[in-house]
Amino acid sequence: MGSCHSDITYHCSFKDYHVFIIYNTMSGYLVYDFDSLLPFPSPFDYYFAHGLRQNDILPERLRRFYRVIHGTDYVNHFSSDRSHMQRQDGSWIAPPPSYGCICGHNSSSSHNLPFYLDMTMNVVGENSLITDSVYGTVLNENEFFEKFSDL
């Protein structure tokens, strides 16, 4: 764990990506994060305040973006052949899961994880690597908060 510097010291962990579920209920959005120590599930505003903390304490280059994908699109189109878990020589960085590789029944390739991870790929069209909206929309932190907050 590193620490971010400001008037207050925060202990931060930096990840290249993190997946959690936001579920819309009659009483508001709930966050299901299987890697969090927060209550499970957590109301979105609570999760945002206590699990994510705001970007403004981070340098610009470290600020988070969020790729928001409808659950049905994710399940149907996501695929991973686990190549991101291997070294160049083919050996495993860590033992792979015991279950088979993930491949949505509408996926166009055996490994499209990079499309989900690249936060610069948001525009659908001929000049973009993304040609289908199944990869969701990239939001900055303010847009993400506005979309799901009850405040």
Residue of 81 and 150 predicted with greater confidence: 81
pLDDT one-digit tens code per residue, 5-38: 444 455 566 667 788 999 999 999 999 999 999 9
pLDDT at 133: 76
CA distances from 17 to 66, 100, 106, 113, 114 (A): 9, 21, 23, 11, 11
pLDDT one-digit tens code per residue, 68-79: 999 999 999 999
- Model pTM above 0.85: no
Determine the Cα–Cα distance for residues 71 and 134; give it in Å rounded to an integer.
10
Query: Quick one: tokens of 49?
Result: 């305040």
pLDDT at 108 over 70: yes
Name the helix (H) or strand (E) containing 28.
Answer: strand 28-32
Instruction: Say if residue 146 is exposed, middle or buried (CB neighbours under 10 Å; 0-12, 13-18, 19+).
Output: exposed
pLDDT at 124 over 80: no
